[in-house]
Amino acid sequence: MKLPGGAIVTRALEDEGIELAFGIPGTHNIELYDALAESERVRSVLVTDEQSASFMADGAWRASGRMACVNLVPGAGLTHALSGIAEAYLDQVPMLVLGCGIRRDVRRAFQLHDVDQEAIARPVVKATYRPESGAALYRTVREACRVARAAPPGPVFVEVPVNLYLFTHDVDLEGERRAFEAADAPALPAPDADALARAVALLRAAKRPLLYVGAGAIDAGAEVVRLAETLEAPVSTTFTGKGVIPEDHPLFLWPGYGHTAPAFARTVADGCDVTVAVGCRFSEVGTGSYALEPKGPLIHIDADADAIGANFPAEVALVTDARVGLRALLEALGGAAPRGPDTRLRDAIRTGHEALRREWLSGAGGPLVTPAHLLAQAQEVFGADAVYATDSGNGTFIAMEALRLAGPRRYLAPVDYSCMGYAVPAALGAKLACPERPVVALAGDGAFLMTGLELLTGVQEGAGVVVLLLRDRELAQIAQFQSTAMNRKTKSAVHDYDAEHLAAGMRVPFLRISTDDEVRPALEEASAVAEGGTPVLVEVAIDYSRKTLFTRGVVKANLHRLPLRDRVRFVGRALTRRFTE
């Protein structure tokens, strides 16, 4: 059967279960868009900027577990989208980056958009592909998707030369599908038996194990809970692992356990003598600038062999998927009697959380909006299934500390690439992937200037997200670092703007919250608007006077790491400015 390239690619996307394709059509991929218009299973979403397209695909997967596609024109489309692609790469988010290329069937130089796209993409994707013929299109796209999903997941780039879209090709799609699906994807090896035995010996001899769990365990929550309860072990998570264990569980400790954690969490962790790290890499942000170390010997379970031992040596390495590794560990521990609930441990965790919550809310009722009060009310209004998309900056850390999540895929944050402008498009991607769930974006006023116009996409697509615009008219996280370390803020004030008129220009309903008393009624109104399929912008006069635990911990960790001479210089400069400026 002769089919145009666009139809072949569309069929491959359908067979991969890809439901969302974000992008902007251009001269090189209009044939693909024409074919997608005929699909009943793949929804094309027009964005205002390709950077947002990659953030939307990222948010769609994080919220739903289903991979999405980014459709890019050559050159500028790819470079615009690189920030979101790199975010997906460092945060291990699978994504099909479907690019276009110049014509390869003619010998012409200086073609439109002609740059070496594979060289540009290669540092921030797992693999790059360029099919050489129409007959190779179907298998190439499907193979790219398989690689993107394989642990550790990440984005994959496919460049389709425009001539493959322009012409028809002989292809048997049913035969191609059967052949591809008959070839099983490579499976991760089972855990090494000797390593498993050593892990069990360490755990049986331990007084108190500590579990440290990342996004690699996002689909292994039940196994994490079983292991924690078997060992009566407190569970700390990375940022992206937040929610893997329900955060109302009596053994949930904190996202982290070093300098950026509260005192009660550090005390509990200090009482542990062996660490089981699952699906995590001990990255800089998650560890608060490497401000935590494994407690006792480290048992590290991860599908990425390169992550094990990269920052901390592992006494035992189990290179496998989190679920496979945890199940094997639980089975091997089967002969050990569960330790049973430790009332003292659980009381220390419970009272620690309660005291911290009281401290956060102690200043409520002032002239601005208390962050902990805002998020507590949001969780009551939007319910346990709500998804929260944060941005690079203070909102990420406030949400990480204050939200209490019932499960995974509810906290979307740009962590290891930490790219501003993430929250609004990621929230839209999450809402399009999970239309039945409430979705809330927490966007700083600086980040909103980068991608806030994507609310136009929300209007066009009927994606009823609630955007909480956290306004303090500063780049709050950087301003806090500057004021803490230097006692001076430099170029971290945001140009003021009228958010209400921006919303009106996009035909988006606008609400304003100025005090804590206004929080509940405004959120209830925003929820009702969003349920009708319309995005809503809520400007919040946020009170950032109380620094997050993360900010204080990172400053402390980095200051103490400096040589004495530089430490004295930093402190002396800040003190001098306090009394002279």
Q: How far apart are CA 84 and CA 412, in angstroms?
A: 13
pLDDT at 187: 77
Q: How far apart are CA 102 and CA 485, in angstroms?
A: 50
pLDDT at 400: 96
Identify the CATH homologous superfamily for domain 363-550. Answer: Thiamin diphosphate (ThDP)-binding fold, Pyr/PP domains (3.40.50.970)
Q: Which residues contact 348 (CB under 8 A, 6 or more apart)?
A: 264, 267, 268
Q: Record the pTM.
A: 0.94
For residue 463, give Cα distances in angstroms to 22, 102, 428, 443. 14, 34, 6, 17
pLDDT at 336: 61
Identity of residue 266: R
pLDDT at 485: 66
Give the domain 2-182 fold: Rossmann fold (3.40.50)
For residue 363, give Cα distances in angstroms to 357, 359, 474, 477, 541. 11, 8, 21, 20, 15
Q: How far apart are CA 116 and CA 103, in angstroms?
A: 13
Contact 245, 177 (CB under 8 A): no
pLDDT at 340: 83
- The answer to whether the 2-182 and 193-348 domains have the same CATH topology is yes
Any idea where the domains of the chain sit in the sequence?
2-182, 193-348, 363-550
What does CATH list as the number for 193-348?
3.40.50.1220
pLDDT at 492: 65
DSSP letter for 494, please. P
Closest-CA residue to 36 (of 8, 56, 57, 59):
8
Tokens (6 digits) for 561: 């790491």
Q: How far apart are CA 84 and CA 8, in angstroms?
A: 26
pLDDT at 543: 94
Three-class DSSP category at 510: strand
Closest-CA residue to 383 (of 219, 576, 524):
524
Q: Identify the segments of the chain with pLDDT beneath 50.
A: none
pLDDT at 475: 67
pLDDT at 337: 59
pLDDT at 335: 61
Q: Where does 157-309 have alpha helices with state H?
A: 162-166, 173-182, 193-205, 221-231, 263-270
Residue 40 neighbours by CB distance under 10 Å:
6
Contact 437, 407 (CB under 8 A): no
